[in-house]
Structure 1
């Protein structure tokens, strides 16, 4: 099958879906239209509206103020008051956000006595005089509410409102990177290492969450659709200076993509301030470990009326290294052979990340937005692999060296168009997103292998090879989400999504001969992968006093096409899955909340694991894909308790079938690394987060994740039933010191764990940071040192079937960094409207085009 014919067929598949695609998508559209039509005809009889405006002391409109409609008793004083006791004791009826002209509207208000409270960051809260609404009034006009400015300055507000580095919420954990001292100048991957429940395996480029593989990595609420290795590389090349926060969600609802059996990691990039006028910040940083590092960044934001334009750019330069010491044994008796692999990899990386976008409020209820973010990365490395081969008596037989001069260029561009319309003040709204992104990876490997005897002499001619495995991943996606409030506190949500992902990986592996470079047919392969997912969901929730119930169902139809052009082999898959979810919450009072949840999730094999091509890692190790991988499915159960929205305790059980797992197979002298489906994995996790404040200048946030992993499978004709009790412990502390100094001390420890047939040893690190505010808090100077005890060492053993392997690896984890940030422009805290979808309001949903 030639490439042109294949491309035409795939485009035809995109524009001409299968019957199941059309059926699912048609039902989604029909359901949303019927909801909108029924809602339009089912509006209750018109009742009076309450209208008014919010002004400052000069009589100018206060943009996007928060306005509350309160129902009070007739005995309350009919006067305006900044600290009205009647307002604090009144019952909240509705909330709203004023428009760019300071105006607000409350529709459909029943008879009674009311008061309006208005508030805005930087102003004192103010309430109106009492007024009465009667049934036959068409409209009640409230006199303008005047807000007086607070005496607080920007700097004071910033200190008081600073979020903790780790914020534990009932349904997710938030890592607030933006204000973290110990994270300044690092990478997004280094920040993840400090997150509770996260294990980053730098040796094998994988990320686990609470002991489980298969996390869905999202950037600004959009899936990356990259392989696990490419995701790790992406995070490794993303500077932390451009990251606002990282969200960890272990049990998502039906509104999320069903991918990610361990949960979702959403990385939110900075988008600039939401204050009126023009403002921004600039950052300069430098660091040194064994090698130098440098960074610079600029963030700009302009808001005027209903228009907000924002953007940021970050540059990161870093030199670093990695090393590995691995020992492999194969054979037995007199044929026992031991290979000691010593690898050293110095590297240089230059990364450019950017984000630009605009939001515009067409009206007080309708807004549109566009956004683009991207990464341009160039990496160079010299990989020096030395393999010492010993016989059964421990005598050196041979030394095989391989020098690989490697370059890697990565370009990523993601664009989004977002539309949001709120139909009324009851919360009925529609959000539509269209996304396009493209990732291009251009790696090059130039390998020179030499075979040396015990005296250093050449025992056979050197081998010169080169590898060019360029790949391109293109994503097109569109989705719509509709929220419809029901009577008595209920809510109905529905939506649909379609995504079309194509991957083109053209591996050209060549060996130098007397006649020039000749392609190696065993390692050269042109592989195309195309995947169309059509999804629809229905989600409903309802409150009954202290109880809250949410239930949903998500349907996803997947059509994937694997095409090995070189091998003339095509695998076509077509399947439909249902993913139910349910959540039950009991809120005893403001301090105590209980929650139980269930969800079913899927992880589809990524294109790199499906590609059957061979990638040479060293003369004795190669990696090969598996085109017959199947998706893995997980049933996840969780119960949790939250105290004062701070302390969180959760217990979860997860059962995964057809577990996608990396394995190692010894084939004579060469080890084959591949990915297979194992039968089942059971995971039990106990998570505890307990913030403490011993004094007013000292905050602690310890957390613990204790998990039990148990594999139940067969591989290579042998039983694999490894079981391991493991723990992830984190402790983050912040201190307020004299002379305007603040400090952070952050540490974590990951105990020994098991992954497939591999046992990993424990590791951890301790990092410290110091911060000083300058120039009336317009500038900040941060100094931090990561891994001050130099304890970050990854190691493990594998002893299964004929494979016997142990290794230890390290990288440049101890680095000192100095970062300077300067804030400029309008520092007035007249905060403009912060766009949030109805999903965020109800379930802190990831998504929305320009969040």
Structure 2
């Protein structure tokens, strides 16, 4: 600690021998211009000395300027570039403050919208990473879930409907900064319906401040949809045709209209897709309700027929120079037909044999509505008050019919004597989720060194699930007594927070926040509600020794609450001896993280220590009290401790070849007690992510991206390494007539997950099974061709909202 303090003192002394230039950039309406480029030049030879960008308030600072005569050049998209008068830095005048640099709006009317600059695909912030998905060729023709699969550190498990970030479970997903209070299965369905063409960027927030919900132990994934950004009218169209197992089609149309005081945005997308996935495997077990120990060989092939419609509307209006009113709404409708062929054969040690095959014919109709209304009030130059009201509604109807057949070793039909082997099952699950959230945030800049933010938030969510499962006995149907029905759950969360930022030195700042959350969940099947009240602190220290390097140290505490479907869900069958269900004894996960990040010249190094109490893993195998069936349900680990190293580096091989590489390495230790005996495991988790962009002559562009997870452990299971390589090529037509993009996801056809159930420790019934699940792209080469084009006029717009303003509004 003494060494570190001495280093800070030495840096402060060294800093005092240099000059500093600060100032503000604004437009003619006296509004700040965020993220404008400010470059310092020597007057004598016009050589570049240094440069920076304005923050969300239009402020900039250029430190470590030696004595001499200089001038500034300021530029920003949509504005005419500005060159300042020359000025001088001397020993007596080391700190120069430029009151305001005014940029003039550039009125440019185009027959077609031409994108002059392309954002870097991966950008680092103090909160985490920002991925500009529109900079990727692979985005075209994809949905939000497929885009998430390609992001550095994100793992999507569509077999088990799970998301993890940097190898850690407990991820909160937000849409435009609002938490989606859905179960993971319902969330995966919504992401599959969200067309990637409508996504502006995705934020991976691994160091959230106290202003964010405390939910999400591994962090937050925030999906930001496109909105209108300028005056005039722009129209974007996109059409995708593809084929894999069978046909795929996607179309989207968006309209942006900007006025002097208002912006409007509307989009519509349609998705039609027929996909196929499957699994196969085998293993041994000793289930007491079967004649004797057995060896089973099983398989399942699922065919999914999807039709989805999504409509997005957004508007913003400036009531006065200080008050802005806005709102947005997204409605998604999905109809899915699932056909699954499941088969199992049992070879018993007593010589018996039983074969089973079943056709599962299921339908699902989903309707999702996510909406918000907000007001931003700029009370003064130093303070702002925001109100945000959001409403979410989700409905789902999922009827299913399972027809079962049994046969002997010779393939002859038979009727098993054990009553657990039914002739079929049928059921229906009706779900209805309503959630309302009200948030009030107040920000205040006390002086040029101290700023603060305060807020309160309340949410109320209701979940209704009316489900039943019937089993066929001979020619009649009866209710399965193990199934749940008429489940009602209500969840209340109240939160209050305070967040402070203090500039210790021109090169260092500290942010500290404290969030208090009260959580209550009531379920009609239980007498007492579950309640929890916790404090969630967060502290971040940032040191910037130069404009090319930043060191950040952060501590935060988070919680991962189980979804209501994790606690109680309708049963469904994989085979007559095995069901999927919820776990009413599931506990929330509390996570403490201490991390340090260092960024210099694009290189990012991150080191973190993480401790989780009762982390949640889904689809773990246990049994009921009577031990007459196998149950796959969510379970808590006792704990998990990890040391994590993250490395990311953008490499420009040439002007036309860029590479983005990242790696996550984690040393983990965890304990599991829901197995036959408590067991501990220590292992190394390793993930690699690579993306490269190659610009070729004649307006061709190529992208290769991929990721690989080395072997790792998950609860009682061991998972082999797996990865994917994607490819895309684009051709921009002359005279801005649009772009053709060819996408080849999983070109090596490798997307398969190989799991050894009980590969870490023995589990119930001494099950030892190896299963291999493969996505559609592992069976067939998927090819997608997209044509996109933009039309209209675009000028700079006065209603500019920075990323930080958006975050302040949506917390």
TM-score when normalising by structure 2: 0.85
Residue 51 of structure 1 and its aligned partner are, at CA, apart by 13
Give the match for residue 809 of structure 1.
773
Residue of structure 1 equivalent to 2:119? 163
**Shift in CA distance, 847/754, structure 1 to aligned 2, threshold 3 Å:** farther
TM-fit CA distance, 1:563? 1.1
Question: 2:579 is matched with which residue?
Answer: 622
* 2:217 is aligned with 1:256: no
8 Å CA contact 1:324, 1:809 repeated in 2: yes
Q: Deviations over 1:294-326 (max 9, x none)?
A: 000001011111011111111111000111113
Q: What are the within-5 Å matches in structure 2 for residues 123-138 of structure 1? A: 123-126=79-82
Q: 1:143-158 residue pairs with structure 2 within 5 A?
A: 158=115
Task: Give how far 1:129 is off.
Answer: 7.4
Corresponding residue of 2:715 = 756
Residues 510-589 of structure 1: pairs in structure 2 closer than 5 A = 510-512=470-472, 517-545=477-505, 546-564=507-525, 569-589=526-546
Q: 1:202 to 1:718 in 2, by over 3 A?
A: same
Change (3 A) 1:116 1:706: closer
CA contact (8 A) 2:484 2:569 kept: no
For residues 732 and 284 of structure 1, do their structure 2 counterparts lie closer, same or farther at Cα, with a shift above 3 Å needed? same
Q: In the alignment, which of 801, 804, 809 is matched to residue 835 of structure 1?
A: 801
Shift of 1:168: 3.3
**DSSP-derived class of the 2:169 partner:** coil
Alignment of 1:185-584 (within 5 A): 185-271=141-227, 273-331=228-286, 335-392=292-349, 397-426=353-382, 428-460=383-415, 463-512=423-472, 517-545=477-505, 546-564=507-525, 569-584=526-541
Q: Say if 1:666 and 1:803, in contact at 8 Å, map to a contact too.
A: no
Assess if the C-alpha contact under 8 Å between 2:108 and 2:795 holds in 1: no
Equivalent residue, structure 2, for 1:675:
634
Q: Give the Cα separation in 1 of the matches to 2:451 and 2:287.
A: 67
> Quick check: 1:121–1:829 contact (8 Å CA) kept in 2?
no
Q: 1: CA distance between counterparts of 2:263 and 2:110?
A: 25
| 1:150 to partner: Cα distance | 8.8
Distance 1:306 1:391 in 2: 76
Matching residue of 1:739: 698
Cα separation, 2, equivalents of 1:621 and 1:91: 60
Instruction: Describe the SS at the equivalent of 2:197.
Output: helix
Aligned to 1:25: none
SS of residue paired to 2:138: coil
Separation in 2, partners of 1:402, 1:712:
37
Give the direction of change, closer, same or farther, for the CA distance of 1:202–1:612 in structure 2 (3 Å limit). closer
- Offset of residue 391 of structure 1: 2.1
Residue correspondence of structure 1 range 633-672 to structure 2 within 5 A: 633-644=590-601, 646-662=602-618, 663-665=620-622, 670-672=629-631
Over 3 Å counting, the alpha-carbon distance change for 1:117 and 1:421 in structure 2 is: farther
Q: Cα offset for 1:610?
A: 0.9
* Mapped partners of 1:672, 1:550: distance in 2: 46
Distance 1:183 1:371 in 2: 23
Cα offset, 1:616, TM superposition: 2.0
Query: 1:371/1:400 Cα in 2 relative to 1: closer, same or farther (>3 Å)?
Result: same
Structure 1 residues 89 and 221: CA distance shift in structure 2, 3 A: closer
Distance 1:143 1:197 in 2: 40
Q: Structure 1, unaligned stretches of length 5 or more?
A: 1-49, 55-60, 78-82, 99-114, 132-140
How far apart, in 1, do the equivalents of 2:776 and 2:175 lie? Answer: 26
CA distance in 1, matches of 2:212, 2:327: 22
CA distance 1:592–1:464, shift in 2 (3 Å): same
Change (3 A) 1:190 1:145: closer
Aligned length: 747
* Whole-angstrom distance in 2 between the partners of 1:474 and 1:780: 41
- Distance in structure 1 (CA, Å) of the matches to 2:645 and 2:103: 50
Choose the corresponding residue for 1:724, options 666, 683, 689. 683
SS in 2 for 1:234: helix
Q: Deviations over 1:361-401 (max 9, x none)?
A: 112221010110121111101111011111238x7711111
Per mean C-alpha deviation after superposition, the further-off stretch among 452-461 and 438-447 is 452-461
Contact 2:441 2:808 in 1 (8 A): no
Matches within 5 A, 1:13-32: none
Partners of 1:723 and 1:732 lie apart in 2 by 30
Aligned CA RMSD, in angstroms, stands at 3.5
CA separation in 2, counterparts of 1:685 and 1:697? 33
- Match of 1:218, SS state, is strand
Q: Structure 1 residue 207: deviation in Å?
A: 1.2
TM-score, with length taken from structure 1? 0.81
Q: Are residues 151 and 506 of structure 1, via their aligned partners in 2, closer, same or farther at CA, if it must alter by over 3 Å? A: closer
Ranges in structure 2 where 5+ consecutive residues have no aligned partner: 1-23, 60-70, 88-98, 417-421
